[in-house]
Each structure stands twice: as structure tokens, then as C-alpha cells.
Structure 1
């Protein structure tokens, strides 16, 4: 049986505050829905969680925002779980408020170590009379009623654009709150692109954990290769599609938890994988990916991965793919390469 997080336990302790049909925004554990058998609306930006939510009776599930799936009915209570990125919180709060019936209430729940105390200012910008209802399980629970004059929500209005330049190639890249490295080219991706600038990788190419689509779009501009992209996060899937469209490049962008949704085989897989879950370091996603990657690489196909040097990836790459080489290195990052056994 799954052990619920502190934030979910705090919600259950205050379930009397959830009246009528609820909407849960930012849910990461489908087991929570079993405590509301009458159902409601569950929204997640994690595709693996979305697949689990779809199996729960009486609940409607949405991946990302209602722009990616219509909502059947407005709700009485919206529960917002605190995201890691502060800029994503206002995004979630506005989304939640737009799904409420007139007079509906908004609950914000998060752990103290995640910054719930500082997040209250953002809540009060939408629901000025919000009150703290409980402090338990290292969490705080806040309740407010949103200003009904400001509850419209359009995901497209939240999209931003920034320019990325690498090796003489300039790209316009889409961003949404909560996406990795929004508004800049991160150091790891820049190093990986530098390693791909001198010799063209062999296609077809897959960009795992593609984020906003920077590497796939850049590779196509540099070498004329069609690059497919896959990511678990809804914002990434949306932004990568927009980046590809703006750059006029080709390739399929798929939502997938790991490589579970990928059916093709590739000559090259590139990745700058995440290593955080919430605020904690978590390399399990990358280890799961490496276990799956071999069956999606053609014989002799290459995996190329960039990561912080302190992470234990060389051993895992050798175990699951083949002999691991270091192509480039900085004080913080290394680019690893291996060919399938």
C-alpha cells in the first residue's frame, strides 16, 4: 500500500474543508483519490501519474491544463499542492480558480521546507481574505475564496519566448511556468550541444527528457536530422511542440513516463536528464531510463548523456548500455557516450 506524502495526509486531516465536487491541482499520487469515491477532477503535469489517474473510477483526469482535455463541470473546492518552482504556483492558483463555481473555495497545501510560508503572498493576490486553517505533518493548510472578477485562464497567455544561441545557431524557445531552465540555456545542455557540433550524430535521433525542445530543434538546424522528443512533464510537451513549430523543424513530441510510450528504435539517443524529485536529489528516473534505453537503440547505436559529475551515471551506463567514455568535461558537468553492447 502506498504511503501518502505529508501534504496529502494534511489534506485528509482537513477533508471537512473540501465541500462538493473537488478539483485537485498538481496531484502526484493517484492513491489519494480513493479517499473521495464520489469523484471529482484531478490535474497533474506528470504523464505517468496521469495514466494512473485514468484508472480511478468516477474521477476525470487532465494532463497539464484543460487546454489538453476539456473539463466536464466546475467544482466547489479547488485544492492546490505547492509546486517546486515559485513561478508555477501563480499558474496553478489561476488555473484552480478558473475551475471553481461562483462562491467556491481554494485550498493551498504545502510543506514548510518547500516554502509554503512564502507562498501565501501569492495566494492572497488571488484570494485576499485567505486564512491558515491548520499546521500539521510539517505542512500548512490555507483556505480562501478567489476574487471572481479575475478567474479566466488561458494557457497560451502564459507562454513566453526567449532566444537561445549555440555554435552560431539561434532558436526561439517556448517557456511555461515550471519548465526546466525557462528563459536560458543551462550549462549542461550547452555542453552537450558543444559535443554534437563537430561530428553529426547518426539518425534517427531521440531526445529523452526533451524539455522545451532546444536540443532537438538545434540538431535539426545544425545537421538536418529529424529528432523525436519525449518528456514526462506537460509543460515540456507543450513547449517542445511550440519550439519545433516556430523553428519549422520536424519530429514527433510524445508524453511518456520514461520510455514506456516510445515504440521506435533509434541510432542515437541524447539526454540531459533530471535528477530532482521535488526538492530532493532523485536519480531513479535516469536509472529506469538507462534500463529501457538499450531496447530502443539499434545495435551499435549511441547514447549521449550530460550530467553533473557527482552523479553515479558512468557505472550505470556501463551496466545497461556499454563502455562509457567521457567526451567533454567542465568542473560541474560531464558528457558521457556509450554504444549499445
Structure 2
């Protein structure tokens, strides 16, 4: 086996490689975080990632069948995979769904492997694993991870992500929209405070645009709400396109738009790298976490790229935690910036392209 030192792979991927003797027959890997893993593996098969950038990289790996998240058409055929590897997702609620997908891909008497980091909660996830595989046992602790294995998995019925979609509502400024949810995407506790503050400014001071782009659109709340507000106030309705990096977000946004009769296209893209087009307004409540760590690099890259997609005089409207250093970044990449609203925790910024 090749040395893993300096490989740059996530700990969970390194732990799997340390135990690659368990990988036999046709492989299905669910939740791949780095395409470099495939180069280290002896076999081929299916590799699924919910991240648009990782999915694109997986598609460059020769004989492997790359899948984007839970709605990829390839998954509709079920599977006959002899070994199915599940990497622990960040959201615990997602693990049950990922295990159900694994079950649907397994051949008769297949082997199921669960790998995850201790700090991400692998110990607490074992109960969920044993609910479908009571025979599962721990086979290794490595790279700050645990590796669990279950033999003799039985074939299950086909997997449909639509069976996991739930619905909630989001209300702001007297306007309510129905919002689709999947594990780890939309909170049925209602709008998060940042999005609410952003929508309140959009009600008081609408963006003057014929077409908008919602960056990091999540479940599509902002676009559906804007159009519902415009309809209620009898003003010209602007289409709102959405873009997000995560498969579940794209699925939910499309469902949300359809339910609320919202107009707009929903794209899957890692940032704006895969997006063409010009908009007269861009709105965003961008994420600032990678796992449990604060990471503003995605938003900084967005601010560098968005100027190529804003028409002259077009507006950027962005909400962020007040402690994040976005004001100087917006000024650097877009131009003069003003604070439209603050509540002590969040700030809504506005800037116009020169």
C-alpha cells in the first residue's frame, strides 16, 4: 500500500485506505470529499459527492461513475455493489438518508462500511448504523476516525430522494412561502435571523432589477419570497435565479420554486465558476463555515467573481455576521459600500457596480 503521509486527503479517506483490504468487488463510495481518493483505490465503481466542485473532479477519474448527490439519474437504477462505503456526513440527520441510499445500492450479501471522524460524531452515529445493520462492528480506529463494517447486507427497495423531502413555511413582512427541506438544508424552526434581516431590507428598499441572482440560495427561500412580495405589492415581478454548491440545496430550491410558482433557474456550481450570465442584482446570505471552522474564502472568491456578472449600476445586497470582515472586501471588489441594517449580530450591506 502507498504511504499516506502528505497525501492531503481528509482523515476519513486516509482511514479507509488504511483498511482497503475490506474493499472487494464493485465499489460504491457515498459522500466523497476528495477526488484524489479514487487514484489510491484498486477497484472502480460509483463515487457520489453532494459538492458540485468535487463531483466535477470525480468525473475526471477515468472508469469511475461520478454522481452528484441524491438525485443523480444513475442512482435510480439501484445497484449491485459488493462493497458500499458511507462517509459520515456533517449533518447527523443526513446519515439516515445516506444509509438508506447505501442499502438500495447493495448487492445481495454486500459489505457496508461506515467511516467518520471522532470529532464529527462517529460514536453517536453507530446507533443509526445498527438500526439497518445490527451486525456491524468496529474494525479500526485510525487517523482520528473509526471504521465500522457490516457483512451480509440485504437488497433493499429503490431509493427516492423525494421520499425524504419535508415542508415548512417561512414568513417575513407579512409574506409567507412554503419551503422544501432535506436533512441539513432548511430549518423548520423558521427563517434564520440573517435571512430575515435581509428580507426585511428587501421589503423596505427593494432591489431595482429585472432579474436577480441568489448566490448560495439554499432551499430557495429568498427567491420565492421576493417574487411573492412583488406579487402581493403588485409590482413588476423579477425572475430570481439561484446557485448553490450542494446537491440537497439545488433539489430543495427547485421544489420550493415549483410549489410557490416562482420563476427562475437553479444552478449547481462551486461558487460562480460554472455560471455564465449577467444580472442587474445579486442577493446573498453566504455560508462562512467549512465543517466546524470559520471559513470566509468562499465569500471572498464570490466577491471577486461577482463583478463579472453584475451589469453596470447593478446592486449587490448581502447579509453576514457583523464580525466577518466583508465590508472592506466588498469595497475592494465592488465599490462604495453602505450598511442598510444592523441588529447587533448581522449586517446587511449594499454596493453598486460602477
Q: Secondary structure at the match of 2:47?
A: strand
- 1:42-97 alpha-carbon deviations (Å, 9 max, x no partner): 011111111111111010011012x3222475211111111111100111111111
1:39 aligns with 2:44: yes
TM-score when normalising by structure 2: 0.93
CA shift at 1:222, angstroms?
1.2
CA shift at 1:38, angstroms?
3.6
State which of 135, 138, 142 in structure 2 corresponds to 1:132. 138
TM-score when normalising by structure 1: 0.96
Counterpart mapping for 1:79-118 below 5 A: 79-118=85-124
Whole-Å Cα distance in 1 between the matches of residues 80 and 100 of structure 2? 14
Correspondence for 1:327: 340
Correspondence for 2:65: 60
Whole-Å Cα distance in 2 between the matches of residues 275 and 56 of structure 1? 30
Report if aligned partners of 2:216, 2:243 keep a CA contact under 8 Å in 1: yes
Correspondence for 1:70: 74
Q: 5+ unaligned residues in a row in structure 1: which ranges?
A: none
Whole-Å Cα distance in 1 between the matches of residues 150 and 45 of structure 2? 20
Q: Secondary structure at the match of 2:168?
A: strand
Report if aligned partners of 2:110, 2:153 keep a CA contact under 8 Å in 1: no
CA shift at 1:274, angstroms?
0.7
Cα 1:140/1:161, change in 2 over 3 Å: same
Q: Secondary structure at the match of 2:264?
A: coil
Whole-Å Cα distance in 1 between the matches of residues 190 and 349 of structure 2? 23
Structure 1 consecutive aligned stretches of length 4 or more whose deviation exceeds 6 Å: none
Q: Secondary structure at the match of 1:196?
A: helix
Question: How many corresponding residue pairs?
Answer: 340
Report if aligned partners of 2:224, 2:260 keep a CA contact under 8 Å in 1: yes
Q: Secondary structure at the match of 1:295?
A: coil
Whole-Å Cα distance in 1 between the matches of residues 251 and 19 of structure 2? 34
The two structures, once aligned, show a CA RMSD in angstroms of 1.5
Report if aligned partners of 2:320, 2:346 keep a CA contact under 8 Å in 1: yes
